[in-house]
Amino acid sequence: MIRFGWKQIGFTCAFLGALWACGGGSTDDPTPTPPTDQASSDRKVMLTNIADNIILPSYANFKTKFDGMLAKADAFAAKPDKAALTEFRQAWVDAYTEWQKVELFDVGPAEQHTLRNFFNIYPADVAGIETYVAAGTGSLEVPLSYPKQGFPALDYLLNGLGANDDAILASYTTAADAAKRIAYLKRITTQMNTVFTAVYTEWTTGGYRDTFVNCTALNAGCSTSKLVNGFVLNYERYIRSGKFGIPSGAMTNGTIAPEKVEGYYKKDLSLTLAKTAHQATIDFFNGKSIKTGQEGPSLKTYLTSLGAKDSSTGTALVDIINSQFTSTNQQLNTLKPNLADETRTNTAAVVEVYTRMQKAVRMLKVDMTTAMSISITYTDNDGD
């Protein structure tokens, strides 16, 4: 049970709950509004720090890795040999790992362009990929195409086409459809680049950064609500469920599905991706600057300013949440790198990761959002 307190004149939102700027309203209009109370001012400071010291530099770091991958993809397409394959794979690993640090920013341009759908819907649809390769065409814009592209499709195309490098390279050199396969590789990397460029441009030169920091109200169309919803959704659905709950059988009545692990064909990458995503969640919650490594205004400091505490122990909600994150990290550290193998041979340990994450989900989705007077606007059917 969590109780909430307000410092200084921040009690205005609780006292004047009818005011849409404090407690949500009937409009989703994201038109920026100036701060009208202490809590709104706190939100602007938080949003400014998140934009300038977390989101923008994280996107810049990802762009560097992603651009490197695109260059290696072009080099491989021009000359598909072992050296080019090795370099393309490593660049893919680097970019995929860096992606885990930006996937949680499902707000603004990323939400509008459904960035995740073009980058990381897994497991890869192998049959669908092969159909597209054979046809030499096929829309990459429709929902059924999402698992046929992005990092998971590249995983299959770089690591899953054969038992060894020679067999994989044959698919790009001597196979009857080699030219079509190379063309498909170029199609999906081009598609990824097109969508990410649109998102990145809107943040950096398109004016969204200012819209984001100035939309300080708590209605569903403004930044704090959208940011928190995207953050919690990412943790619940794409880390807890996607990386652990579904593959381990924790969400499917004990039916394990190792083939649904992220990074399935690379084998030894899946745990690295999961750990990176989880740590990105922790760092974001605590406002850790990408530039300096120091904590700044964040969900943590905002919750602290609201005085959110456990009513029975008096423990600050932020401390409870961080303690649960630490507990999950401890369990993650017991796992071996290949999560597909772990779901088969060490199932209980993988399920335990899910269980610990589930406790954090409740804290984030219920306790944190209640303290912030934010409504969860997405739906899940697993009883959270």
Question: Which of 285, 171, 213 is CA-nearest to residue 41?
Answer: 213
Collapsing DSSP to helix, strand or coil, 33 comes out as strand
Taking the C-alpha atoms of residue 89 and residue 163, their distance in angstroms, rounded to an integer, is: 15
Please name the residue that has the structure tokens 């579904």: 246
Q: Are 228 and 372 contacting, i.e. CB atoms less than 8 angstroms apart?
A: yes
Specify the amino acid at residue 7.
K
Beta bridge partners of 316: 309
Q: Are 171 and 178 contacting, i.e. CB atoms less than 8 angstroms apart?
A: yes
Task: Answer whether 0.85 is exceeded by the pTM.
Answer: yes
Q: Radius of gyration (Cα) for the chain, nearest Å?
A: 22
The three-point CA angle 332-250-97 to 5° equals: 40
Taking the C-alpha atoms of residue 153 and residue 285, their distance in angstroms, rounded to an integer, is: 30
Residue 32 Cα distances to 29, 43, 51, angstroms: 9, 13, 15
Q: Are 234 and 357 contacting, i.e. CB atoms less than 8 angstroms apart?
A: no
Taking the C-alpha atoms of residue 138 and residue 132, their distance in angstroms, rounded to an integer, is: 6
Q: Tell me the residue ranges of DSSP E strands in 133-225.
A: none
Question: Which of 58, 74, 84 is CA-nearest to residue 196?
Answer: 58
State the pLDDT at residue 311.
80
Taking the C-alpha atoms of residue 76 and residue 83, their distance in angstroms, rounded to an integer, is: 9
Phi, psi of 96 (to 5 degrees): -65, -40
Q: Are 39 and 10 contacting, i.e. CB atoms less than 8 angstroms apart?
A: yes
pLDDT in tens, the chain (384 residues): 444 443 333 333 332 332 223 333 333 333 333 434 677 788 999 999 999 999 999 999 999 999 999 999 999 999 999 999 999 999 999 999 999 999 999 999 999 999 999 999 999 999 999 999 999 999 999 999 999 999 999 999 999 999 999 999 999 999 999 999 999 999 999 999 999 999 999 999 999 999 999 999 999 999 999 999 999 999 999 999 999 999 999 999 999 999 999 999 999 999 999 999 999 999 999 999 999 999 999 999 999 999 999 888 999 999 999 999 999 999 999 999 999 999 999 999 999 999 999 999 999 999 999 999 999 999 865 545
Q: Are 1 and 309 contacting, i.e. CB atoms less than 8 angstroms apart?
A: no
State the pLDDT at residue 310.
87
Q: Indicate the burial class of 206 (C-beta count within 10 angstroms; 0-12, 13-18, 19 or more).
A: middle
